[in-house]
Amino acid sequence: MNREERLYRKLDKLLGGIEKFCSNPEAYAKFQSSGYMDLNIDNQTWKVGKELLEQGVVRISMAHNSVQNGDLMADPDMEINFSTSTKQAFAVSFQNDYIGVYTPAEKTINDKLCYDLDMIQSMNSFLEMWLQNIEVQGFERTE
């Protein structure tokens, strides 16, 4: 099993089913663990283009959130695409508000969606570690 398949399985388990979660356009899940920032997951499938949606690609955003000086801050926030046909997941953006970083791995060139594959591999490596930490830290779904 490759990394993208492992990511799909871990996130599918965390959400109680990716396809079910993403079938509701307003789907939201909150997870908590004492001593850690809340973990929030939102359905972002509406951001996926028609062509990808027709190929069975859905999207979530996943973020640890806290408030600083009245502003909602993410540390980190990632957008993740899922291919429901191949059962694989891959990160398409990374953001950390505390250090002012936003890194997209997808962009449109001449009306065609393109991916930075090296960036995706780097983000997927981070995502795999993050999911392992979430599991070890005992996050439980509260909403």
pLDDT string in tens for the chain (143-residue length)? 999 999 999 999 999 999 999 999 999 999 999 999 999 999 999 988 888 888 889 999 999 998 899 998 999 999 999 999 999 999 999 999 999 999 999 988 898 889 999 999 999 999 999 999 999 999 999 98
pTM for this predicted structure: 0.92
Report residue 129 CA to chain centroid gap.
13
Separation CA 60–CA 44 (nearest Å): 5
- In a domain? residue 46: yes
- In a domain? residue 13: yes
Residues of the domain holding 86:
3-137
- In a domain? residue 12: yes
User: How many independent structural domains does the chain possess?
Assistant: 1
- In a domain? residue 58: yes
Cβ neighbors of 58 (< 8 A, separation 6 or more) are 18, 19, 22, 43, 45, 48, 81, 82, 84
Its sign, for the CA torsion 15, 8, 44, 135, is: positive
- In a domain? residue 25: yes
- In a domain? residue 143: no
- In a domain? residue 101: yes
Cβ(30)–Cβ(65) below 8 Å:
no
